[in-house]
Amino acid sequence: MSSVAITPTPDLRLISIDVGGTFTDVLSVDANGAINSYKMPSVAPERFARALDDTLGHLTSSDELLYSTTIALNKLLGGEIPRIGLVVTSGFRDILETARLPASAGEVAPSQLPPRLVGLEWVREVSARLEASGIERKPVDYEQIKGIAREYAAADIRVVAVAMLHSYLNPEHEDAISAIFAEVAPEIEIVRSSKVLPELREYERTLATALNACLIPVLAGHLDSLRQVAGDALRRIWLMQSNGGLASAESISHEPLTTALSGPSAAVVGMRWLGEQSGLANVITFDVGGTSTDVALISDAKYTLTTAGTVAGFPLKAPMLDVLSIGAGGGSVAYEAADHRWHVGPESAGARPGPACYGNGGDVPTLTDAQLVLGRIPNALLGGSLPLDPELATSVLNAFGRSRGFNAIRTARGILDIASHNMCGAIRRVSVSRGHDPAKHALLAMGGAGPLHAAELAELLGVTSVVVPPQPGLAAAWGLLVADVTRDFVKPLGLVESSLDQMQLEITYNDLVTSANAWCAQEDIDREDRFFTPKLDLRYAGMTHETTVECVMGKDMAPIMSKTLERFHTQFEKLTGRSWRDHEGIEIVNMRLSAGGQRPKPQVPHLDESRALDAEPRARRMVGFLGHTELIESNVFDRSMLGRHATVVGPAIIEQYESTTVIPPAWQSTVDKLGNLRLQPCETLRNG
């Protein structure tokens, strides 16, 4: 546990909790502004109450809980999908199986198909139908829907997804079906696609609706366990969403899909805030944990949002932070493929048995085993509570490298090389591939293993600034503490540039603002704290997918549209290197509105100048560095003993409770005014 002080929030204790697969991170801010951090093993929901009581003490009505969890994502990854029903328009029974496989693809291997969400025996087709314009062709058959509702009730199905053709333009059929279910089988919860994703594309809308329906019982059970922890004590429970904003548990308990990427999103939010506090507007977040590496680009102090991504193998259309994840983490397994090439990840040894050096029976080499043999991490982690066995790591590495005549050290170097270049490729994908020069960004290292790799990857990328926050393993918990309350609203438009209907644009915007204000009132957001950010989904004629562009603000719609369309042209040209502005018109597909309210932000004070402790090493050991064929004797420092302006010259290792920072040869680190480690090549180092 560690403690610092921040600006107090009177009569309120904030508790942020990020539940990961292995560890749960907790930050608590009391009414006096004192903030304490805790790290504890993740436990089952039924044991969560005891774990929180042991850590935080009795919860009161002055407490607010800020929460992120990957439980929804983990259930999908593990195939733990509850049985649901699905109601579709006649002729669309197989829509989830058809997906978006091209007709030219031929026979597709079963492993490449999306996992089955709803058994075909629980899909029901109904005769009601809308035209593509949203006009009714055939009305809802009351008796047909009543019979379907009774079937589902008899089969003990408690959640049903309804995804009718063209309902994004006209939700009346879905509303009617929901009303009939409420009359005949009120115990069944109906999830309507017109509420979940009121957008074009039938497959994506149906998929999002089915996913949401599958996850409702999962999140409901988890929230029940949280409420049992608190009883009626807590002032409120806030959940992190994939879009990087908070929402009350009450408002999104029936929209669990919005929380699927809450953990990675919270970490990016935390790192954006840290970048702002540190005077860094352009950063690349680099989060390495036990199983994955998550990277994201922050430009001009704004993170990148996308409306299309992949969650647990499912193509998802929903607002989310643009975070790229690859299977490269501390537990990533090294193996030799059929082509005799070595690979690292995506398979992971997990927490059990974990890397061989954990001593829990692991018998395959992992990245952590390589780090230990190369001297990059100590023989015990987490303050000594997790001992590591170098002999076990050496044994599995010797065995793996034997076919090539490599000893454990040479094998470990090879594993480090492969993992490092995989991580480097991920960073290039979120920067170079999208028109951004990584050398013009700082690399923000977080997670237990991010600081182990950051400086060496920066060397490969031409990046000259690496920042390691005071508590790199608590990035997501900090993100919860500094996030705003946010929700995304969307309405279809279907306009073209050559015949813009200004009246329709204004009506659509006003409708979105009305919906957003109603939601803000529900979340108790004061009017002076509310914000609204309009956006448009745009594409050139002939394209099948659109780009979301934030609108240029102004009073009159005509100049707003003109400047926003120009922004789209510029973004397209920067990304692709081509210009279509004189060849194709622009289609306006949807209007979006990001709305919410600002929450008070902690103000972390500067380090005390009087605590400028000398940087004295506590030990020396032999360490292997990326790009160096021999181990190099290196100083080892205790981070807690480094005061403001303390400088460490590489080769060196800086150890702390939850992480280890590697300082390669020809690099230096200095402690800035916020307690960050600022790593730079020796000739470009500047004190913080």
| pLDDT score recorded for residue 233 | 56
Q: What percent of the chain has pLDDT over 70?
A: 88
The rounded distance, in Å, linking the Cα atoms of 149 and 185 is 6
| pLDDT score recorded for residue 260 | 86
The rounded distance, in Å, linking the Cα atoms of 355 and 368 is 6
| pLDDT score recorded for residue 3 | 40
Answer with the residue of higher pLDDT: 65 or 529.
529
State the angle between helix axes of 202-230 and 45-56 in degrees (0 to 180), rounded to the nearest 10: 50
The rounded distance, in Å, linking the Cα atoms of 427 and 331 is 20
Residues 315, 316, 320, 325: is their CA dihedral positive or negative?
negative
| pLDDT score recorded for residue 1 | 37
Alpha-carbon separation of residue 348 from 79, 354, 373, 389, 552 (angstroms)? 17, 8, 19, 19, 45
| pLDDT score recorded for residue 611 | 61
Instruction: Give residue for tokens 């502005």.
Output: 581
Answer with the residue of higher pLDDT: 499 or 399.
399
| pLDDT score recorded for residue 8 | 44
Alpha-carbon separation of residue 43 from 21, 23, 48 (angstroms)? 9, 8, 6
| pLDDT score recorded for residue 113 | 61
Neighbours of 154 (CB within 10 A): 9
402-452 tens-digit pLDDT = 999 999 999 999 999 999 999 999 999 999 888 889 999 999 999 889 999
The rounded distance, in Å, linking the Cα atoms of 138 and 173 is 10
| pLDDT score recorded for residue 103 | 43
319-350 tens-digit pLDDT = 899 888 888 888 889 999 888 899 998 887 87
Contacts of 143 (CB under 8 A, 6+ apart): none
| Helix, strand, coil distribution of the chain in percent, nearest 5 | 35, 25, 35
Give the chain's end-to-end CA distance (angstroms, integer): 26
The rounded distance, in Å, linking the Cα atoms of 248 and 437 is 38
The rounded distance, in Å, linking the Cα atoms of 428 and 388 is 33
pLDDT at residue 368 is higher than 60:
yes
Q: Where are the domains of the chain?
A: 13-76+221-259, 485-597, 619-685
Answer CATH for 485-597 from 3.30.1050, 3.30.1490, 3.30.70, 3.30.450: 3.30.1490
pLDDT at residue 107 is higher than 80:
no
What mean pLDDT comes out for the span 570-586?
86
| pLDDT score recorded for residue 687 | 46
| pLDDT score recorded for residue 521 | 93
3-state SS, one letter per residue, for 139-159: CCCHHHHHHHHHHHHHCCCCE
pLDDT at residue 476 is higher than 70:
yes
Nearest to 360 by CA among 394, 328, 392: 392
136-163 tens-digit pLDDT = 999 999 999 999 999 999 999 999 999 9
Query: Do 13-76+221-259 and 485-597 fold alike per CATH?
Result: no
Say which CATH superfamily domain 13-76+221-259 falls into.
Answer: ATPase, nucleotide binding domain (3.30.420.40)
| pLDDT score recorded for residue 48 | 62
Neighbours of 564 (CB within 10 A): 21
**Collapsing DSSP states into helix, strand and coil, what is residue 170?**
coil
| pLDDT score recorded for residue 435 | 81
Secondary structure element (H or E) that encloses residue 320, with its range: strand 320-321
Most confident of 35-49, 93-107, 303-317, 332-346: 332-346
What mean pLDDT comes out for the span 47-62?
62
Report the amino acid identity of residue 463: V
Radius of gyration of the chain (CA): 26
Contacts of 172 (CB under 8 A, 6+ apart): 136
| pLDDT score recorded for residue 46 | 57
Most confident of 21-30, 102-111, 305-314, 368-377: 368-377
Q: Going by DSSP bridges, is the β-strand pair 466-468/442-446 parallel, antiparallel, or unpaired?
A: parallel
Length of the chain (residues)? 688
295 and 100 Cβ atoms separated by less than 8 Å: no
173-231 tens-digit pLDDT = 999 999 999 999 999 999 999 999 999 889 999 999 999 999 888 888 777 777 776 65
Nearest to 357 by CA among 385, 386, 400: 386
The rounded distance, in Å, linking the Cα atoms of 483 and 271 is 11
Q: What is the pTM of this model?
A: 0.85
| pLDDT score recorded for residue 292 | 82
The rounded distance, in Å, linking the Cα atoms of 687 and 294 is 28
Average pLDDT, whole number, for the chain? 86
Instruction: Give residue for tokens 């009132």.
Output: 521
